[in-house]
Amino acid sequence: MSNNAWDSVAEAYAERVEPFTSQFAAPLLDAACEALGGVALTGAHVLDVAAGSGAVALEALRRGAKVTATDGSGEMLRVASERASAASHELATRVAEGTALPLDLAGGSLLATSGFGVIFFPDVAAGLADCAAVAPDREQRLLTRTTACTGSPS
């Protein structure tokens, strides 16, 4: 689906699809915290790649993390940001394709996540490699609904 198409369905996605996808946000973050040795997210930075309307980002915010959400769709990020504001949270957003993340997003994140967005990457392996590239040689983990990897997605 093109970004324009995602833009056109952002509100409906948040209303109709996210009630399903949001069920996986807490278990995803629980697994991430456990993989990192039982850390808490309070005060840590989380990078949510292909965040969509914000299910994982919002759960991380509820846990006290500082979150930057990226997505190729500006409208999806607008919806995520509005939802965060409605819950009295501040969500940093950045329009960026999950398969072409700007390297300036690297550094400082405890965790890089992607809930369901990774399944929409045209080349999942390349997308995971790009996600890992924003944090080389760090103790960051990239966890998705279907994959957990450290360092390199190979």
Q: Helix or strand or coil: residue 45?
A: strand
Structure confidence by residue, pLDDT tens digits, 44-95: 888 899 999 999 999 999 999 999 999 999 999 999 999 999 999 999 999 9
Structure confidence by residue, pLDDT tens digits, 90-143: 999 999 988 888 877 766 777 888 888 888 888 888 877 777 776 544 555 555
- Beta-strand ranges (E) seen in the chain are 45-48, 66-71, 92-95, 109-114, 141-144, 148-150
Nearest 5 degrees, angle CA 128-CA 132-CA 134?
Answer: 125
Structure confidence by residue, pLDDT tens digits, 26-46: 998 998 888 888 889 999 888
154 vs 150: CA distance, rounded Å: 9
Domains of the chain: 3-148 (3.40.50.150)
28 vs 44: CA distance, rounded Å: 16
pTM score, whole prediction: 0.85
